[in-house]
Every structure is written in structure tokens, then in C-alpha cells.
């Protein structure tokens, strides 16, 4: 397995940044800061390359493909899910399985097509056996999503499911308590709703998801108007 120092170096090199070998732990901390600062400044292409070369967490060992995200880079709607599943890992695209089909239908219901919005996940790599993402994996991946949000500048963020909502809002609340009301992330309106995989198992909750989508559409229309 790659050592953390080597992982950091590979990450910085993938971003085209000169690598200075740290002499002691203070230098090592500075190198960490540099990686985050650099993610803040990346354009779409360098961000995409950094994600595909990323070895910041152990998921890089088991992934088939990174799943960067897909859609309109200037979308009004940013949809954030949890992490790639088996099919997404194979194809390198988010939400392409059964849950993805339902997500497409939910978007269609509010007049949006998959190609109109931008779809991303908290994690860019699949956790083995679809286990929950670990805190350190989410932390390593966070700068990528933050930069995607900055680049897209959406009018509304829709967090689908517990993992996305808890990570974005820094909360331990269940989805049932977070959904149905407006939140904000760095001043951008954010709405929480059920994950489409959950809605496939519990179709009786679809009416609540519909209300969440209507709330999101209203907030998107109001934001910056």
C-alpha cells in the first residue's frame, strides 16, 4: 500500500504542482494545507484530473473508476448523493442504477433533465460492499465537492439521503428531521430529501419527496432573483 507521504506527493503531482519533500512534521502539515489550497484554485479540468489520480484514502485501492460527477457545469441545480455503487464504479458516472432512474424521474417531475443539473456525490470512489462512507474518507474527498460547488455556483443544492445531508450540514439528525425546510450552505439554499434508493423501498414516502422538490424549486427561483 502507498505510504501517506507518497499519496500526498502523487496527488500534488497530478495537479501539476512542484513537490517539495517535507523535512519534518511541520513541513508535512504545510504540504497538507497546500493540497487543500490547491483544490480551492483548480479549474474543471485540473479538478477532474486530481480526482482521477486521487490516492488520499484507501478507497483508491478498491475502486474501478472514480466518479467525478456529471452534468451542466453551470447548472442551477446541484444534486448531491452519497457515494458510487457497483454500477457507478463500473461506469464512472453517478446514479446510473435503479436509484438513478428514479432520480431522473424526480428531476423530470420538476422540469429538469439529467443534463440540465449537476450530479455529484460526497465520495468520488465506491466504498466496498456499499458500506457507509467513513469520516476520514469524507474529509479527504470534501475539498473536491467544495470546489465543484464553487465552480457550478448553483441556485439550489438538493442533498439526497442521510449521508449527503449530514455531511453537507455537519449534523447528526436523521433525514426525517432535516427534510421539509430550507437550509443553507455558504449562503446557497439547500434542501434535504430522501435518497431515491430509500424511496424505491418505501414508495409511500414519495409524496414527501415531491414536497421537498417543490420547496427546492421555489427556493431556486427566489435565490438571487
Question: Contact positions toward ligand URA, by CB under 6 A?
Answer: 81-85, 88, 94-95, 99, 121
* For ligand URA, the closer CB: 116 or 222: 116
Q: Could you tell me the smallest distance in angstroms from the CB atom of residue 93 to ligand URA?
A: 8
Q: Could you tell me the smallest distance in angstroms from the CB atom of residue 210 to ligand URA?
A: 19
Query: E-assigned strands of 60-136?
Result: 70-71, 77-81, 118-121
* For ligand URA, the closer CB: 39 or 99: 99
Q: Could you tell me the smallest distance in angstroms from the CB atom of residue 4 to ligand URA?
A: 27
Q: Could you tell me the smallest distance in angstroms from the CB atom of residue 3 to ligand URA?
A: 30
Return d(Cα 211, Cα 33) in angstroms, integer: 41
Sign of the Cα pseudo-torsion (121, 125, 127, 133, in order): negative
Nearest residue (beta carbon) to ligand URA: 81
* For ligand URA, the closer CB: 85 or 154: 85
89, 63 Cβ separation under 8 angstroms: yes
Q: Are strands 70-71 and 118-121 parallel, antiparallel or unpaired?
A: antiparallel
Q: Are strands 118-121 and 77-81 parallel, antiparallel or unpaired?
A: parallel
* For ligand URA, the closer CB: 48 or 218: 48
* For ligand URA, the closer CB: 3 or 129: 129
The distance of Cα 39 from the centroid of its chain, to the nearest Å, equals 14
Contacts of 155 (CB under 8 A, 6+ apart): 76, 77, 188, 189, 219, 220, 221, 223, 224
* For ligand URA, the closer CB: 77 or 95: 95
Q: Could you tell me the smallest distance in angstroms from the CB atom of residue 89 to ligand URA?
A: 9
Q: Is 57 helix (H, G, I), strand (E, B) or coil?
A: coil
Q: Could you tell me the smallest distance in angstroms from the CB atom of residue 21 to ligand URA?
A: 37
Return d(Cα 86, Cα 126) in angstroms, integer: 7
Amino acid at each position: 500500500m502507498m505510504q501517506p507521504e507518497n499519496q500526498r506527493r502523487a496527488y500534488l503531482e497530478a495537479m501539476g504542482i512542484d513537490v517539495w519533500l517535507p523535512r519534518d512534521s511541520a513541513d508535512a502539515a504545510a504540504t497538507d494545507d497546500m493540497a487543500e489550497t490547491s483544490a480551492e484554485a483548480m479549474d474543471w479540468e485540473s479538478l477532474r484530473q486530481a480526482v482521477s489520480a486521487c490516492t488520499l484514502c484507501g478507497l483508491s485501492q478498491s475502486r474501478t473508476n472514480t466518479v467525478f460527477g456529471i452534468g451542466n457545469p453551470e447548472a442551477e441545480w446541484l444534486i448531491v448523493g452519497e457515494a458510487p455503487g457497483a454500477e457507478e464504479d463500473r461506469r464512472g458516472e453517478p446514479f446510473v442504477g435503479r436509484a438513478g432512474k428514479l432520480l431522473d424521474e424526480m428531476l423530470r417531475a420538476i422540469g429538469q433533465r439529467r443534463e440540465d443539473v449537476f450530479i455529484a456525490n460526497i465520495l468520488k470512489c465506491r466504498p466496498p460492499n456499499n458500506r457507509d462512507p467513513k469520516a476520514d474518507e469524507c474529509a479527504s474527498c470534501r475539498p473536491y465537492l467544495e470546489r465543484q460547488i464553487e465552480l457550478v455556483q448553483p441556485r439550489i443544492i438538493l442533498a439526497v439521503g442521510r449521508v449527503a445531508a449530514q455531511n453537507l450540514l455537519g449534523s447528526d439528525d436523521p433525514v426525517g428531521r432535516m427534510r421539509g425546510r430550507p437550509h443553507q450552505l455558504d449562503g446557497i439554499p439547500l434542501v434535504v430529501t430522501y435518497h431515491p434508493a430509500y424511496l424505491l423501498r418505501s414508495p409511500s414516502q414519495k409524496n414527501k419527496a415531491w414536497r421537498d422538490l417543490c420547496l427546492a424549486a421555489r427556493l431556486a427561483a427566489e435565490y438571487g432573483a
